[in-house]
């Protein structure tokens, strides 16, 4: 019995040293099972969006898009300043230079950047204006076009011979139209995206999140109304 207890003690010491090693040397770079990293991964698994209003604020503060994304690697989550329940969860992340909220609307593929406010309860998803897509999940097959014959024909006419070309355009030109986006529509929230086809025409698409894919339900040509 004494030998078993001694072995258990040695095991406990070894396990403790291993945990300390992980925390010290890996910190935010691994350990996806840690609560903080699960939240960060949930954000990084979405398309991160910055509204034009927030873009102006970030620019005035000298904060770049790269710093916003880097915050998800180096920043810490303040749960006391976060909203962990509800249809839109909101998490406050900060490091020495940047303090930002990230929204996580329910059953959606976007996370919106919000500059630090004193009261998380006052933060809401944007309902007007446009937003720029600054980060995408690492998935070359992120886009799925509904198989309706009319959509297949439209896709060909727009020069999108495959879904990867749509994703490429979204990464380069993609914008969210907040005025048409419906965060809590049933059965699925709707996000309206604007981007350009292969011929330089501005396109608008109604999309939703399904099986970890951005599913496109429509293609509509539009007159350019914004400057990237």
**Residue 48: per-residue pLDDT:** 98
pLDDT for 20: 45
Q: What is the pTM of this model?
A: 0.83
Mean pLDDT of the region 165-187: 96
Q: Are residues 160 and 101 in the same domain?
A: no
Element (H, E) at 151: helix 149-157
pLDDT-based confidence at 116, cuts 50/70/90?
confident
Whether residue 14 lies inside any domain: the answer is: no
Angle of CA points 218, 224, 228, to nearest 5°: 100
CB 137 within 8 A of CB 71: no
Based on the fold, state whether residues 174 and 203 are members of the same structural domain: yes
Determine if residue 62 is left, alpha or beta; phi over 0 gives left, psi from -120 to 50 gives alpha, anything else beta: left
Domain containing 112 equals: 30-127
Q: Is residue 109 located within the same domain as residue 191?
A: no
- pLDDT at position 226: 46
Query: Mean pLDDT over all residues of the chain?
Result: 87
Buried-exposed string 156-166: b where 16+ CB fall within 10 A, e elsewhere? eebebeebebb
Answer yes or no: do 123 and 66 share one domain: yes
Please check whether residues 86 and 150 belong to one and the same domain.
no
Give the chain's domain count: 2
Phi and psi angles of residue 135, each rounded to the nearest 5 degrees, phi first: -155, 140
Co-location of 159 and 202 in the same domain: yes
Report the b/e string of 41-78 with b at 16+ CB within 10 A.
eebbebbbbbbebbbeebeeeebeeebbeebbebbebe
pLDDT score at 219: 96
């Amino acid at each position: 019995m004494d030998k078993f207890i001694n072995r258990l003690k040695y095991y406990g010491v070894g396990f403790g040293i291993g945990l300390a090693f992980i925390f010290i040397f890996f910190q935010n770079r691994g350990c996806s099972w840690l609560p903080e990293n699960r939240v960060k991964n949930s954000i990084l698994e979405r398309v991160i969006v910055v509204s034009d209003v927030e873009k102006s604020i970030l620019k005035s503060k000298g904060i770049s898009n790269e710093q916003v994304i880097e915050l998800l690697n180096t920043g810490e989550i303040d749960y006391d300043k976060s909203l962990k329940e509800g249809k839109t969860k909101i998490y406050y992340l900060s490091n020495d230079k940047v303090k930002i909220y990230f929204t996580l609307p329910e059953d959606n593929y976007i996370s919106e950047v919000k500059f630090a406010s004193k009261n998380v309860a006052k933060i809401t998803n944007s309902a007007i204006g446009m937003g720029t897509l600054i980060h995408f999940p690492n998935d070359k097959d992120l886009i799925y076009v509904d198989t309706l014959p009319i959509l297949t024909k439209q896709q060909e006419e727009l020069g999108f011979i495959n879904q990867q070309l749509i994703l490429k355009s979204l990464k380069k030109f993609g914008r969210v139209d907040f005025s048409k986006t419906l965060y809590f529509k049933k059965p699925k929230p709707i996000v309206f995206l604007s981007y350009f086809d292969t011929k330089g025409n501005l396109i608008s698409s109604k999309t939703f999140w399904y099986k970890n894919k951005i599913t496109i339900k429509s293609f509509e040509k539009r007159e350019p109304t914004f400057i990237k």
